[in-house]
Amino acid sequence: MKVLSLLDSFKGTYLSSSLNEMILSSLSEESKSNKYVYFPSSDGGEGFLESIKAVDPSLEEDTYFIDDISGKSIAVPMLYDKDHKAAYLETATFLHQKGENKEKNALLGSSYGLGLAILDLEIDGYKELHIGLGGTALIDGGAGLLSPTKIIFTANDGQDYFIPTGSNLHEILEANKANRITGYQGKMRLFAHLDCLAPLTGPEGAALLYGPQKGLNAAQCLTLDEHLREYERLIASEVKDYVPSPGDGAAGGVGFALNVLGAKMELGSLYFLNSQIIQKNIDEAEYILLGEGRLDKQSFQGKIVGEGLKIAKEKKKKVILFVGSISSEVRPLLNDYPIAKIVEINPLDIAIEMFDFKKATLSAIAKLSEFINSL
């Protein structure tokens, strides 16, 4: 009896690998040896590089210096394939939350550093750049990324080479690519591994859906969505071959910028789940363990859990769900899948700051281990 764990990270609390090691340590010796197999899993957000390394151990590790959300140069992990000249970066490692002021990060944070990284890696001779998109704190529509790579922005006060952020998108007077002498040349193929299929704007977009998670109030989200619409219109009128794509709203709109640059847009979850080694292990398993911190409607929009449930149903595999909590709107949807067991850390959906999450996690792991040991 084999249980294959494809648990995603629990945002803000546990990485996938940490959770799996906690579960493994609580299992019986027989289960550890004969039943439980895990792979660190990611949909493109937190843990993307770790998950890619797990399915392709030949990738080499390196450190790359890149400007973070505030423009400070920091060392971040990078993977590379020297034979194919391919590099891998994860936005969650450098465009994540800085300090406690979420609103400041969302509105003033910039993806400019990623744009510079694209230029540098192309100059260095890399042929491919794979970017895991997710786990970001900003919402700049990818304007920072486009500034050094594709577009010269002019502000309505006449300031040229203006670098917009979420706070001043409305100040853009002109977006021009004709005068861009240096920039991304297209010699390095770009791959955007999306953690969601959100559009840039609208009810399911970067501002209205994800703004509240990043510290913005309702009025700020509405205003930012309006500014993103005008920004998108300006870019679309300048870049004639741009075609809107699901995932443009990923990583605060960084997906949109990569789409404008001609990146291949694909779900990070499917990039991981469709890998040869994961497919082989799914075929060999009787049970698949899936989970994340909060199971809600977004879980079924390209996340590891949602895509994993589809695969389990298709391949007739039993599912064990291990989650922080489940929203009421998705509980009925679970009846459509072959779920053998559900273990919740927070079944009453209490605000996380109101109870001992670590203690509740250990208790839930004990219940999960008891079930796995009984198989």
> Is pLDDT at 203 greater than 90 in this prediction?
yes
pLDDT of amino acid 25: 94
> Is pLDDT at 224 greater than 80 in this prediction?
yes
Residue with tokens 């906690």: 22
Sign (positive or negative) of CA dihedral 284, 54, 36, 371? negative
Q: Which residues contact 64 (CB under 8 A, 6 or more apart)?
A: 75, 76, 77, 78, 87, 89, 117
Confidence of residue 33 (pLDDT cuts 50, 70, 90): confident
Mean pLDDT to the nearest integer, 276-294: 96
> Is pLDDT at 181 greater than 70 in this prediction?
no
Mean pLDDT to the nearest integer, 71-79: 94
pLDDT of amino acid 160: 75
> Is pLDDT at 95 greater than 70 in this prediction?
yes
Share of the chain above pLDDT 90, in %: 82
Give the pTM: 0.93
Residues forming a β-bridge with 75: 65
Cα distances (angstroms) measured from residue 192 to each of 9, 114, 235, 245, 344: 20, 12, 19, 12, 32
CA distance 345 to 352: 10
What tens digit of pLDDT does each residue of 120-129 get?
A: 999 999 999 9
Confidence of residue 157 (pLDDT cuts 50, 70, 90): confident
Q: What is the mean pLDDT of the chain?
A: 93
What tens digit of pLDDT does each residue of 49-73 get?
A: 999 999 999 999 999 999 998 889 9
Yes or no: say if 107 and 227 are a contact pair by the CB < 8 Å rule: no
Residue-range domains of the chain with CATH = 3-40+276-374 (3.40.50.10350), 57-269 (3.90.1510.10)
Mean pLDDT to the nearest integer, 298-320: 95
pLDDT of amino acid 158: 76
Share of the chain above pLDDT 70, in %: 98
pLDDT of amino acid 355: 81
Q: DSSP assignment, residue 200? A: S
